[in-house]
Amino acid sequence: MSNAKTKMNKVRNIGIIAHVDAGKTTTSERILYYTGKTHRIGSVDDGTTVTDWMDQERERGITIVSAAITAEWDGHVINIIDTPGHIDFTAEVQRCLRVLDGGIVVFDAVQGVEPQSETVWRQSDGYKVPRICFINKMDRVGADFDRAVQMIADRLGANPVKMQLPMGAEDLFAGVVDLLTMQAITWQDKLGAQREYSDIPAELMEAAQAARSEMIEKISETDDDLMEMYLEGEEPTLEQLKVALRKACIANDINPVFCGTALKNKGVQPVLDAVIDYLPSPLDVPAVKGTIPRTEDEIERKPSDNEPLAALAFKLVTDPYMGKLTYFRVYSGVIEQGTRIENTSKGKKERVGRLIRMYADRREEVKSVGAGDIAAVLGFKHTFTGDTLSDSDNQIVLESIDFPEPVISISVEPKSSSDLDKMGEALHKLAEEDPTFKVESDESGQTIISGMGELHLEILVDRMMREFNVQANIGTPRVSYREAMTKAVEKVDLRYKKQSGGRGQFAHVTLSMEPGEPGTGITFENKIVGGSIPREFIPSVESGARAAAESGVLAGYPVTDVAIVLYDGSYHDVDSSQMAFELAGSMAFKDGFKRGKPVLQEPMMKLDVTIPEEYLGDIMGDLSSRRGNIAGMTQMGNAQVVQAIAPLSEMFGYSSDLRSRTQGRGVFTMEFDSYGEVPRNIADEILKGSNS
C-alpha cells in the first residue's frame, strides 16, 4: 500500500454535534486533553476552554463559531470540528457537516433527544454523515441510559446499538461495561487519563450478557456471513464483529452508542477508539462529484494526492492579529504553500500564502496539505464560504453550500462620524464570515443588519463593538416580511412607449404570473417563439421583473415564490433597447402582482417549550395570545414539552418573559419553520406603518 494511502487511511474528519448544553465543548476539551494537545482540562463554566476562545462564547458558555482542531490518537490524525448547538447558528453546523466524514452526536442522559438534536440529526441525514452516539452526563440526577437510547430509535428513526452498559448512574456512576470485550472499564484518577480494566461485577453479568446478545444480533442483521453464523448458533470473533460494525456504521445502517460523563472525565477514550474503529477515513467516502466550468459536464475526483486538486472553502474567520483565515477541506490533490490555484466558483486566481493547521487557539505552519485533510490558509482575497479551489488546467466546481435566508433585522447607527467607516468595514468582515448575516441600507440610508435570530444578531453586534472597536446605537428588532400573490394572472400585456425628441423608447411584453411552490423564489421562463422579442432583450425583461420583486409592490418587502412566463410581445427596430425592455419587465411584474390578490407573509417559528407541569396552563394561554398554534405536547419526566408554531413578530423578548412566568425553570428553542400569511387586520397595520 502506498504511503499516501496509508496516510489517508489514518485520517478522520469528524464533527461533535448536539443540542445546546448537551456537553459538546466539554467533550471536545477532554478529547484534546487525552490526545495530548492541551496540558490542562478547560471548563465551560470557568471560561477556560480552548475551542470556545471568543469572549462571547466564554461569557455565555455556548459555542458560536465552530473551531477546527487537529489531534492525534493511536497513530491517527483526527480533525475535530466543535459545532454550535444553538439554532441561531445553524449555518455553522450546516457548513461543517458539508465537509465532515463522520460525527459524534452528544446527548444529555437526562433530557435524551432534544429539539435541536433532531434538527442536527436531520441535517446530518441530508449529508449522509455516519454517526456514533455518546450519552453524556451519566452523573446527573435523572440520568437514564436506556431511555436515551430508546429516544434515539423512536424520535430519530435511527438504529442505535449499545456498545456499553453504564455501571451505576447519577452520583453512583462508576464506569462502563464494554460489551465487545466483556470487561468493566473504570477511571480511578481524578483526570480520567488512565483506564482500568477488570471483570464485570456479578450483579451486572446477566444484563451484560443479554445486552451483548442483542448487540451481536443487530450487527449480524447487516452482514450475510455473520447472519449465517448467528443462525447456526456460532459466536463471531471480536475482529469479525468490528469489521461488520465499521461497514454498517459507514453505510449509516447502525449508530454505535457509548456513555459516560465528560465533565467527570469518564468514558471519553472509548469514544476516541470508536472514531478510529467505526467512522470513515477519506478513503471510505465516495469520490467527490463536481462539474467542469462552462461545459457543466459532471466529473468526479477520487481521494488521492495524485489526482488534480479539488478543495472546498467552508468557513472564513477574521482574526484580529493575522487577518482573514479561510478554512478548506481538500478532497483530492495537494495544496502547497506559495503556489497559485484557481477559485473556479469566481473564475479568479488565488496565491496560497501561509498554510496553517489549527489547534483551536494555537497555530502551526505547514508546507502542504494533502487529500482528505482540513486546514486553513491566510491571505486569500476572493474566496468565500462554498467556493471551490482547483488546479487552473484541471478545473472543477464542487456543489456549494445552501444557507437559509435571514428572518430578523435591526438597524445599527454609528455613534460618531469616526465610527462610520469603522462600522462599514466591521460589518463587511462579519458578513464575509457568516453567510446568514446580511447588511444593507434602506431607503432612508439607515444600515439594516439581518440574521437568524435575536441571539445571532446580539452576538454579531457585540463582536462589532469589541473586536472592531465600533460604538453604535441599535434599533428595535424588525421582522423580515415577504409579499406573495395568491391568484394566477394569465395575461399581463404591457407596452412601454416614450418619445422625447430624437430616438424614443419602445418595449412590449406579454407574460403570465402565478404563485410558485413554497421556497422556489422567483422563477422566469421564456416561451417566446418566432422572435416576437429578439433574444438579446429577454434577459433584460427578466432582470426588470426580478428588480421589481426585490423592492416589493405592497409595502417594499421582497416578493417571493412567483412563477413568471414570458410568452409574447413586440419590438421596434430603432426605438427598442435593453433599458426599455427592463422597464417593461419591471412594470409588467408590478401590474401582474397587484392583480394576483397579493398578501403579506411573515416568518413562522417552530417552538419547543419545556416547562414544569404546574405552569402548563399559563404558558399555553400565553402562546395563544401570541397567535401561536399548539402542535403537540410530550411528557418528559415531570416536565411538559409544548410544541407550537408562532409568528416571529410575537416572539421578541420571549426568553425573559418565559423565565419570569416559570420562576426561571422554563427553557425553549425556536427555529424557522416556514412563511405564513399575515392576518388581514395585522397586515393593514403593517402596511399603514410602512406607507406613513
Q: Is residue 27 a contact partner of residue 265, using CB atoms and an 8 Å limit?
A: no
Number of Cβ within a 10 Å radius of residue 338: 11
Q: 326: which 3 cell numbers? A: 479561510
User: How do residues 444-481 score in pLDDT, each as one tens digit?
Assistant: 667 888 887 777 788 788 878 877 888 888 887 778 88
User: How do residues 361-406 score in pLDDT, each as one tens digit?
Assistant: 567 889 999 999 888 898 888 888 788 999 988 999 988 766 767 7
- For residue 302, what is the DSSP state? -
| Local mean pLDDT, 10-residue blocks, the chain (692 residues) | 62 81 68 62 40 37 48 86 52 70 91 77 83 94 94 90 94 94 91 89 95 95 91 90 96 96 89 96 91 87 93 78 81 93 92 80 82 88 88 88 74 85 86 81 76 77 82 82 93 88 85 90 90 92 94 88 94 90 96 94 88 90 93 80 91 81 79 86 82 55
What 3-state class would DSSP assign to 570? Answer: strand
**Which stretches of 320-426 are assigned E, i.e. beta strand?**
323-332, 335-336, 340-343, 348-351, 354-359, 362-366, 368-369, 374-378, 388-390, 397-398, 408-414
Q: pTM, whole model, 2 decimals?
A: 0.68
Closest by Cα among 387, 382, 399 to 315: 387
Can you name the residues that pair with 81 across neighbouring β-strands?
Answer: 15, 68
Number of Cβ within a 10 Å radius of residue 340: 10
Please tell me the distance from the alpha carbon of residue 503 to that of residue 487, in angstroms, as a whole number. Answer: 39
Q: 421: which 3 cell numbers? A: 467607516
Instruction: Determine phi and psi for 256, rounding to 5 degrees.
Output: -65, 140
